[in-house]
Structure 1
Amino acid sequence: MADSTVSPTIDDATLAASGRRVLDTEARGLEAVSGRINGDFSRACRVLLACRGRVVCIGMGKSGHVARKIAATLASTGTPAFYVHPGEAGHGDLGMITDADVVLAISYSGESDEILMLLPVLKRQGNPLLAMTGRPQSMLAREADVHLDVSVPTEACPLHLAPTSSTTASMAMGDALAVALLEARGFTADDFARSHPAGSLGRRLLLHIRDVMHAGDEIPRVAADASLADALMEMSRKRLGMTAIVDGDDRLVGLYTDGDLRRTLADPAIDVHRARIADVMTRSPVVIEADALASEAARLMEDRKITMLLVLDRERRVVGALNIHDLLRARVV
């Protein structure tokens, strides 16, 4: 059993140097693989684009983890895919693979017994076989319809044993396939959102302004000829820290906020008891449309250093209002 005692001579600089060496080694591996993105890669993409079923990713050990990740990335970017454990496939799970599927087999050695054992059945069923290996002369590479060479100059592991650079290269090749297919299919952010409805990613991609804004009688608004006192009463009633100022057709002419009130009170030239709202309002406030994503409102607030927005339709009628607290409650920020 390995001695877990840390050497007393190890220092922070040595640890950091080890980390940098790993990243440098893996970067060189990726650079080497990048030089092999060629006709084989394009052929693999065309096989995947022509697939009538799903992409079945298989791999053993660390390659199995890579295969799981590639399957997940493909599935989330418009290419239906799933992972099958090659060992379990030989005990019944092979029935999950139909003749309409493409098989993507990942094995750095290209000699994994569990995968090679499946090849006769897959060939007989007529499944196109894509292989990702580090040995173009291996059995798996030779039997594949298309082989993708992911060999790297060296592993980052100083013992040259633990898969490090090689798994990074295989993972990156999977990402390259997924993105190339995404672009070829014209896969959009809306398509992506449909497969990511949960969590913060789903909220950023699916939640629109109209889903979180205050509408109807909840919108604070006063007429352009209203007094400042009337505007303050409306702000107090609606409790959004602002009020819209609108014309007779409900079109926006200005905005008054808590911040504007502080500036008004600090101006000795303004008589707050006699002032009209039109004299102290902001005439060109930052606004947004109801069809915009809620995440756009969050970004706009951050960029303009504001905490509230009015929502307009295309005729500049006020149809909603929201503040940063609405976005926080919706967990957009």
Structure 2
Amino acid sequence: MNNLPTSAPSFDADRVLMLARDTLDVEAAAVLRLKQHLGDNFVKAVQLVLASPGRVVVMGMGKSGHIGRKIVATLASTGTPAMFVHPAEASHGDLGMIQPLDVVLAISNSGESDELNVILPMIKRLGIPLLAMAGSATSTLARHATVFLNSSVEKEACPLNLAPTASTTAQLALGDALAVALLDARGFKAEDFARSHPGGALGRKLLTHVRDVMRTGDQIPKVGLTASFSELMREMSAKGLGAAAVMDETSQVRGIFTDGDLRRLVEKGIDLRQTTAGQVMHLNPQTVSVDALAVEAAELMELRRITSVLVLDHNGQLCGVLNSNDLMRAKVI
């Protein structure tokens, strides 16, 4: 039988916006209220996780379980090994996933989730530390906890005060606070974050070096100081980068000539047929180290409004050239 209402109430745009704004106000207030609950227990929770050689095993039912999975993802990506175990499945064998070296983080707004509470004695028997994130300090979950984290809210954003809304937002924010405190205590850096996100934009920016994307060997456009202007143009055309390095007899970079330099000379009406590369080159070209991050080269090129940059090795010798197209292909920019 279809139990849906036979007629829907009239749509009220003003009420829609009012409820949306009220929801944001209630949830923002709930998150800010968490600051009042932070104290020694939060510090103990961080210390407990830091001292554990195992993982943080997060558990929660329903919406708290969804929040728990997100907290697991945040912890794991910021240097704290973590996994999610469903409380109901734990009672049917998955409790074996939890080891004595682990720490359990159990999440429940009421603190009276049957599926969680039924396995609390076993967790205690195994000697596994229990962090409880709950909305009541007198709840069963809180009373069994090694450390209690108060995630209580005054009310839900739901106008019926029933659907988990502000309470789950508070849980998520408290989980983020825990993850941030842990990553800082571990000395976790951006490079560490990138290593756990190699396929993402941040990973590419922090793991890709100039040496990984630069052009080398015969791909480098370069000529000598005495090369004729026609030789210079042929080299630039052959390599297709719109620039060529100008080298002296000791293979040191003395300058660079670019498409932009060509336009400027033509505009001045200079007869280029009798010139040499050394006469038309631009002195003090922009260079980057072979060990620099590719994103640093991209920032230099954007700052200087250039499309190519020369790459030098540890001895200051030309070893490559990098073009903005190379960076785009590597998805650095």
TM tier relative to shorter chain: over 0.9
Cα distance change on mapping 1:5 and 1:22 into 2, 3 Å: farther
- 2:12 is matched with 10
Partner SS for 1:35: helix
- 1:290 is matched with 290
Q: Which amino acid aligns with 2:99?
A: T
- 1:190 is matched with 191
- 2:38 is matched with 37
Give a deviation string over 1:262-302, Cα, whole Å, max 9, x none: 2222222x212123333333223332211122222233333
Higher mean Cα deviation, 62-71 or 237-246? 237-246
Give a deviation string over 1:3-30, Cα, whole Å, max 9, x none: 597765533x654444333222222111
- 1:236 is matched with 237
Q: Is 2:76 the counterpart of 1:75?
A: yes
Give a deviation string over 1:211-247, Cα, whole Å, max 9, x none: 1100122111112333332221111111111111222
CA contact (8 A) 1:251 1:315 kept: no
Cα distance change on mapping 1:247 and 1:158 into 2, 3 Å: farther
Give a deviation string over 1:10-53, Cα, whole Å, max 9, x none: 33x65444433322222211111123221111000000000111
- 1:166 is matched with 167
Q: Is 2:118 the counterpart of 1:117?
A: yes
Q: Which amino acid aligns with 2:321?
A: A
Give a deviation string over 1:120-172, Cα, whole Å, max 9, x none: 00000000000111111211111101011111232222222222221111111
Matched ranges for 1:77-96 at <5 A: 77-96=78-97
Q: Shift of the alpha carbon at 1:2? A: 5.1
Partner SS for 2:282: coil
Q: Which amino acid aligns with 1:74?
A: L
CA contact (8 A) 1:245 1:255 kept: yes
Partner SS for 2:261: helix
Q: Separation in 2 of the partners of 1:300 and 1:22?
A: 44
Q: Separation in 2 of the partners of 1:140 and 1:233?
A: 77
Give the % identical residues. Answer: 53
Q: Separation in 2 of the partners of 1:248 and 1:142?
A: 80
Equivalent pairs counted in the alignment come to 331
Cα distance change on mapping 1:232 and 1:147 into 2, 3 Å: same
Q: Which amino acid aligns with 1:149?
A: N
Cα distance change on mapping 1:167 and 1:241 into 2, 3 Å: same
Cα distance change on mapping 1:141 and 1:325 into 2, 3 Å: same
Partner SS for 2:37: coil
Q: Separation in 2 of the partners of 1:201 and 1:5?
A: 50
Higher mean Cα deviation, 150-159 or 33-42? 150-159
Gaps of 5+ in 2: none
Q: Which amino acid aligns with 2:209?
A: H
Partner SS for 1:58: strand
Higher mean Cα deviation, 252-261 or 102-111? 252-261
CA contact (8 A) 1:59 1:86 kept: yes
Q: Separation in 2 of the partners of 1:300 and 1:62?
A: 47
What is the TM-score when the length of structure 2 is the normalising length?
Answer: 0.92
- 1:324 is matched with 324
Cα distance change on mapping 1:261 and 1:21 into 2, 3 Å: farther
Q: Shift of the alpha carbon at 1:323? A: 1.0
Gaps of 5+ in 1: none
